[in-house]
Amino acid sequence: MNTLFAKWAVLAWALLLRVVPLEPNTKRPAKELKGWQGYLASLPSPETRAKWLAEYASRGWGLLLGSEILPGYQIIGLDVDDDRLVAATRAFLQHDRQDASLVAKVGKKGQTVFARAKFSEGIKSAVIRGGEGIGNVDLLASGKMTVMPPSIHPETGEPYRWVGPSLLDVEFEKLPEVTDRQIKVLKAAFGSPHALALITGLDTHGPGVALVASLMRSGATDGEITALITGLLPDGYQGDSLGELPGWISSAREKNFGAPSEGTQNLTASVIAVATAACVELFNDGDGNAYASVAAGAGTFTYRIGGEPFRRWVRYQAHSALERPIGTGPLLEAIAGIEAMALFEGAANVVNNRVAGDAEGVEIDLGSSDGRVVSIDKDGWRIRDKARHKFIRGAGYGPLPEPQGGGRLSDLQEMLGLSWQNFLLVVAFIINALKPGGPFFILLVEGEQGSGKSFICEIIKKILDPNKAPRLRLPDNERELMIQAKEYRQLNFDNASGMKAEMSDALCALATGAGVAYRKLYTDGDLHVMSFARPFVINGISGYVSRPDLMERAIPLKLSALPESARKTEAELLATFEAILPGVLGILYDAVSGALSNFPSVVPPRHLRMADAARWIKAAEPALGLEGQLIEAISKAQDEFVLERIHENTLFVKLRAFVLGRAFEGLDQPFEGYVSELLAEIGEPTRGLPATASQLSRELKRLRPAMAKAGVEVEFFDRDRGGRRVRVTLNRSAGGAEFDRTE
């Protein structure tokens, strides 16, 4: 017999904890308990307790927060909604008391960590709101209840569990103590716009310095600052910020961060005046992001205002002009003022990464220290000192060499060791990637170990968008994908092994520029939209892509293992590549010039789904002496790829067997009937097969283009009272439809 409440309530009451039974399948107290908050003041009477034990024996149980657990102390909880804030919260609570008992419980996500607080601190229930892209922490005190282990979570169906010891097994004196000052510190930490940068582990220096200053102003101790910064950084963080952290804290203490004095305010104004005078232009992208263009030789650089490169530039300009060191406080205040000027007074401009342009011309940022670009138009290419477009440089941005004329594409093919067919696919992808805007084909590289797939992808990256981080891991969600797209022009996802449907959809959006939207906060607040179109490469051994919509946007490249006699060291190959790269770039930029010239008159290859991308490639073919070959190579590779994958699909195999069986029985006419009837015909649902007619209908629509290539054509009709009707036809002339009676 389930006696969950009966067991745990008795133990809790023995420790004078205030607990109540729960309404089944909810996180609420039993509905019969009107005014349950009244039980916070004292334990229920013996009669009431006996009644609850009898009536609610099998229920879950909840703890009332804010009740007295020690003389003068209440029990509180910090309900951390965002998993990424758990480590920082726990480190903060325990930083100065290694003997403290950290008691926490977990349900669906995050953790609720228990602590004690003096009644005299006046701590009330509140929400510690997270900054942009960060979840909240609910401060649970008087008037709040939290579900306790091992009650069943109503959404997961699994029991809540303890992380560490149970609350019933610890001495309450050893629970960490929380003060009102510490709550203010947590609000400053988790609500900071700089916290997300530390969580992601990207560009942590500037945000770390700024967050240290903010925490110090909120009254944080050195130990609390160290605990929070360390806890916010991702697991396995290998950057320099942890080593620099003591210096940041020491420097902030020396500068006596606090409310700005009149002198500080005057210094801030001076820094703003110096920086804006040195800027070529302040502007924004029309989407709430501020930028500054600054002089670089005869050209310009564009910085994100608030990013670390811009901070360093402002600090240098101010130090040079004012002949004095500039503290972090005045620096950050000045940058905030400059950002406001760019957002509300500056013009809106498109900001580009590595490649920019329109129908008249294309510009490619060489990544040089003087801001030079390759300018390409219908008459050819040349090096220019000043760009027409705004370019931003992300983390790890690398330089391209100056292109040269007279190179040979055959040198690149020989160096890569690719067959002619595969080399055409690589060239097609690169040409498409040099198009200033999407859509872009996705290069899917499959090959067994020893096939050189990672090296080939890295070479493509060096041709298009060299970076100190040439290889990336496929992210877990679409938001992280778009953050990477913000930093890199061309993305190179290495060693993929599988892909969720949501990620497949996000990759399709990235290839076409559809973008994604997500809440800024873990509340019902504003939406933040990120929209980028980026060329990207994914490599893996095999089978990591199965959805037709992604396949039809792809250029599939299948590689075989190289024989040992043909293998060279990576150092040898890179030396050869560096030598031929300027000439290869010259040829590719000639092709871009040809594409600009031919594009208006080229008829899009409509047999390919990515017709606009294919049209650009087709327009570039004559300049390479490959007229008709690149598009044919893509079409052939796609057909082979789709046929291979669709024949591995369980539903297609069943459906094909069904229509073949009808043909063997002399029923050459198509199947026509309701989707529910078709579901019954193809057999009992098994793994990989739809279980309902609606699921079958969705899968047939999704797989219809791929199945048609394999000889099974599906046609839908309007819905009537009986449901949706469908016709399934065997097309013997399509690829993969041939059969005989021994099949």
Angle ∠(307,185,102) on CA atoms, nearest 5: 115
pLDDT of residue 262: 43
Kind and range of the H or E run holding 712: strand 712-720
- How far apart, in Å, are the Cα atoms of 405 and each of 136, 224, 409, 427, 589? 57, 60, 12, 18, 10
Count of C-beta atoms within a 10 Å radius of residue 732: 10
Q: How far apart are CA 444 and CA 554, in angstroms?
A: 6
- Mean pLDDT to the nearest integer, 542-548: 74
Angle ∠(139,142,145) on CA atoms, nearest 5: 75
Q: Smallest Cα–Cα separation from 335: which of 255, 275, 262, 257?
A: 275
- How far apart, in Å, are the Cα atoms of 272 and each of 214, 263, 332? 20, 14, 10
pLDDT of residue 575: 94
- What confidence category does residue 740 fall into, taking pLDDT thresholds of 50, 70 and 90? very low
pLDDT of residue 716: 92
Which residue shows structure tokens 């349950």? 36
The torsion defined by the Cα of 147, 151, 154 and 158, in degrees rounded to 10, comes to: 130
* pLDDT digit string, tens, across residues 6-64: 999 999 999 999 999 999 999 999 999 988 888 888 899 999 999 999 999 999 999 99
- Mean pLDDT to the nearest integer, 707-730: 88
* pLDDT digit string, tens, across residues 90-113: 999 988 777 778 999 999 999 999
pTM strictly above 0.95 = no
- Mean pLDDT to the nearest integer, 163-187: 93
Q: Are 353 and 488 within 8 A, CB to CB? A: yes
Q: Are 371 and 385 within 8 A, CB to CB? A: yes
pLDDT at residue 174 greater than cutoff 60: yes
SS (H, E, C) 364-398: EECCCCCCCEEEEECCEEEEECCCCCEEECCCCEC
Q: Is 332 left (phi over 0), alpha (psi -120 to 50) or beta?
A: alpha
* 723 compared with 380, residue with greater pLDDT: 380
pLDDT at residue 375 greater than cutoff 90: yes
* 207 compared with 304, residue with greater pLDDT: 304
Beta strand 712-720 with 73-80 is: unpaired
Half-sphere exposure of 603 (CA within 13 A, CB side): 4
pLDDT at residue 426 greater than cutoff 50: yes
Kind and range of the H or E run holding 61: strand 61-64
Strands (E), 239-309: 279-284, 290-296, 299-304
Copy the structure tokens of residue 728. Answer: 């399934």
Which residue shows structure tokens 């004690």? 116
pLDDT of residue 739: 45
pLDDT at residue 263 greater than cutoff 60: no
* pLDDT digit string, tens, across residues 107-144: 999 999 999 999 998 899 999 988 878 999 999 998 89
Report the sign of the C-alpha dihedral through residues 159, 162, 166, 168, in that order: negative
* pLDDT digit string, tens, across residues 494-520: 988 778 888 888 898 899 887 666 655
Q: How far apart are CA 467 and CA 446, in angstroms?
A: 23
* pLDDT digit string, tens, across residues 650-693: 888 888 888 888 777 666 678 889 998 898 888 776 777 888 88
* 646 compared with 78, residue with greater pLDDT: 78
pLDDT of residue 144: 93
Helix (H/G/I), strand (E/B), else coil: 293: strand
Q: Are 683 and 654 within 8 A, CB to CB? A: yes
Q: How far apart are CA 589 and CA 384, in angstroms?
A: 14
